[in-house]
Structure 1
Amino acid sequence: MSARAEQPTGQPDQERRRGGFSSRRVFILAAIGSAVGLGNIWRFPYVAYENGGGAFLLPYLVALLTAGIPFLLLDYALGHRHRGSAPLSFARLRRGAEGLGWWQVGICFVIAVYYAAVIAWALRYTFFSLDEAWGADPEGFFFGEFLQAGDVRVTADVVPGVLVPLALVWVAVLVIMALGVQRGIGATSLFFIPVLVLAFAALVVQAVLLPGAGTGLDALFTPDWSALASGSVWAAAFGQIFFSLSIGFGIMITYASYVGRREDMIGSGLVVGFANSSFELLAGIGVFAALGFMAQANGVAVDQVASDGIGLAFVAFPAIISEAPAGALLGVLFFGCLVLAGITSLVSVIEVVISAVRDKLDTGRLTATLLVGVPAAVLSLVLFSTTSGIYVLDVVDHFVNQYGILVVALISMLVVAWLLRALTRLGDHLNVHGRPRVGTGWRLLTSVVAPVGLAVVLVLALRDDLTAPYEDYPTWLLVVCGWGMVVALPVIGFLVARLPWRAGTHLDGPPPGSDPVTPLGAATTGHDEGGTR
């Protein structure tokens, strides 16, 4: 019997209308593009430095193998078997679980709204690097002349220097999303990821040739073996893995649903996991080589110049660029890499929302892109192109990561593993075409080790935030943009789950042909509507 004959009438057309990646290679590049984001460049190096240096690589590798990749494969299995967005995949797993998918969709919408602002800053700084526009005071320039940040209060005072590049970022993203899965996301990944790797490799080579680079690398990689006895170090390793792999909040579920049914998802997961970690290690080398140069140039220890996040990117690195030989080139490479990494991650985040809207409402690609992208762009411009944007962004980013992504990831793992008892059949699906096979070990890691690791990270984060207000921000800001958002997202998610699906949506288990006992004879994933097979 042919593959087409094994499916009910209309099923191939539905999958072709959703779109798909043209090959496993495109999917892997897109998945790597999602995983490799701003956090790889500005978060991992400092986390490693603060948690034992070279010794941190041991708990990091353990976390990757015991929690990161197992959870990544769980996301792949959900999306690949159930052939839908996060809400549709959870609904096909069990109708009552649909709200988990919409919770993830809400998180992605929030992230997209503020993530675009950071990309806009990086875009502007790419050009600032040419003439070192920040002058002798990079910190004063960033918070003062560039962002015009004043007191911690909500204002409507627009900053044109942020508004224009932010609008350009959204125009570019909406064009990519409107083009579809293959012609938009896939084509972008095929071009951006190789360029990103080459550009970052050039950045690292230039950084390690700077005077004092060895001092920075010694600071990063000299192992503090006593740190391995600290639970917080192991928690930091698990937290870094979950933050950097784009798992647990719908992205990999969505991307996996666009892959041909006969593809090896296990092998793909291993490639993506190790590629992401390799890029983080490369980022650590480049960043700390540059910090070593800065420390030597100023006659101070590396720990006095080391930082992470926004401070590293927009304060420390401009200072390095100002003092380094060929600083303009170093700056263009660094901030250009931030833009490329940010764009590939942003399109994956917003695709989670677009895919869910298309599945729920049965809309076309362009319609869904406008329904999702225009409100997201407007909110982004209103909130983050003002003088108060930096403070709102900082609070939202902290809370949506700590208590949005991690909480929904923990709950979804527990629901799938213990409430729905679905790991065996999901593992069987992965094993149809995947190698190496997953079995009892994978189920144990996904149902016990990964949830315990996540729970510890959450408990430590909650302890810190309850001990002292985050960054000493006023209570009203933390309640409205932090705790209030965290509570609202799951409530809204489960309310949206009560809305009816489009007529004809198959919700009773996976679509025909997705079960491991009846694999299709050929992949059915095609290009987006209007494309060619």
Structure 2
Amino acid sequence: MVCAVVALYYSVIVSWSLFYLVQSFQSPLPWALCPEPRNSSNGDPECERTTATTYFWYRRVLKAAGDIEDGGLPVWHLSLCLSVSWLLTCLSMMKGPRFTGKMLYVSVLFPYLILSGLLVWSLLLEGATFGIKTLLAAKMTALYSMEVWRRTGKQLFFSLSSGFGSFTAIGSCIPRSNNCVGDAFGVALLHLVTSMITTLVVFAIKGHQATVKMRHCYLK
């Protein structure tokens, strides 16, 4: 039941990623510049008030309405991407946990390849140094806060999928002679390295965004 609930919103995130993947084959990227209205040489006024990335997310991807009470038909491109994500999920589960274990070679190694590229790219962005300095200047007093540790534990259980049943399902296919203790330490170490790399990427990009927005506000 927990896996089903997690899959419901994970499939939505995957559908967003699929849409961005398809859109990324354009040059220039559709979220890099504000669109120009028809019969006008000026940029879109709504996009000019914010950033091209934010405008693309709300107006092109989500097609968000002005009010939560405004209804409408489903967004066709997101519906298509959502159907593809569920199709991939069903195909990977049709042959049981053994086939899912083989799929992990692709679904795990490919994201690490992308993450490595993101790390190099993010560190070369303007303002990335500011983001990294902000990360290293964290308040040490937060270590004494129970709220921080509560959220940390919640994130660990979520990212490691503890109690979700996935480890139990895939682990049932492992031979009895397998060193489960070594695997547990290996998973924990891999999770630590992944979290550190992801944190560097996030703070480097946030530093870049802060630098760009500050310049944008200054010029306005």
Normalising TM by the smaller chain, what interval? 0.7 to 0.9
Amino acid at match of 1:260: P
Alignment correspondent of 1:288? 203
| Contact kept in structure 1, 2:101 and 2:170, CA below 8 Å | no
Q: 1:225 to 1:271 in 2, by over 3 A?
A: same
Equivalent in 34, 57, 63 of residue 142 of structure 1: 57
**Which structure would you say has the larger RCO, counting Cα contacts within 8 Å and 6 or more residues apart?**
1
Equivalent in 105, 110, 133 of residue 30 of structure 2: 133
Alignment correspondent of 1:107? 2
CA distance in 2, matches of 1:299, 1:139: 15
Matches within 5 A, 1:320-359: none
What's the Cα RMSD here? 2.1
Alignment correspondent of 2:124? 209
Equivalent in 160, 163, 186 of residue 79 of structure 2: 163
Amino acid at match of 2:30: A
Equivalent in 264, 267, 281 of residue 179 of structure 2: 264
Amino acid at match of 1:275: L
CA distance in 2, matches of 1:147, 1:294: 21
Alignment correspondent of 1:187? 102
Superposed displacement of residue 207, structure 1 = 1.1
Tell me, what secondary structure is at the counterpart of 2:94? helix
Amino acid at match of 1:163: S
CA distance in 2, matches of 1:295, 1:123: 27
Superposed displacement of residue 218, structure 1 = 0.9
How many pairs were matched up?
194
Contiguous gaps of at least 5 residues in structure 2 = 35-51, 216-220
CA distance in 1, matches of 2:175, 2:133: 45
Q: 1:161 to 1:230 in 2, by over 3 A?
A: same
Q: 1:225 to 1:186 in 2, by over 3 A?
A: same
Structure 1 stretches (4+) deviating beyond 4 angstroms?
153-156
Contiguous gaps of at least 5 residues in structure 1 = 1-105, 301-533
Matches within 5 A, 1:325-404: none
Tell me, what secondary structure is at the counterpart of 1:295? helix
2:164 paired with 1:249: yes
CA distance in 1, matches of 2:148, 2:83: 40
Q: 1:299 to 1:114 in 2, by over 3 A?
A: closer
Superposed displacement of residue 281, structure 1 = 0.8
Superposed displacement of residue 120, structure 1 = 0.6
Superposed displacement of residue 199, structure 1 = 2.1
| Contact kept in structure 1, 2:119 and 2:197, CA below 8 Å | yes
Task: Identify the structure with the greater helix proportion.
Answer: 1
Amino acid at match of 1:283: T
Superposed displacement of residue 298, structure 1 = 3.0
2:117 paired with 1:117: no
Deviates more, 1:280-289 or 1:252-261: 252-261
CA distance in 2, matches of 1:276, 1:252: 15
2:95 paired with 1:172: no
Sequence identity, in percent?
A: 27
Alignment correspondent of 2:68? 152
Superposed displacement of residue 156, structure 1 = 6.5
Tell me, what secondary structure is at the counterpart of 1:299? helix
2:150 paired with 1:235: yes
Find the structure with the greater CA-based Rg: 1
CA distance in 2, matches of 1:121, 1:219: 29
Q: CA offsets per residue over residues 216-258 of structure 1, 9 Å max, x none? A: 1111122311222222122222222112110022222222222
TM-score by length of 2: 0.79
Q: CA offsets per residue over residues 95-141 of structure 1, 9 Å max, x none? A: xxxxxxxxxxx222122122211101111012223342234333333
Superposed displacement of residue 187, structure 1 = 2.1
CA distance in 2, matches of 1:236, 1:114: 20
CA distance in 2, matches of 1:153, 1:272: 45
Superposed displacement of residue 153, structure 1 = 4.7
Alignment correspondent of 2:41? none
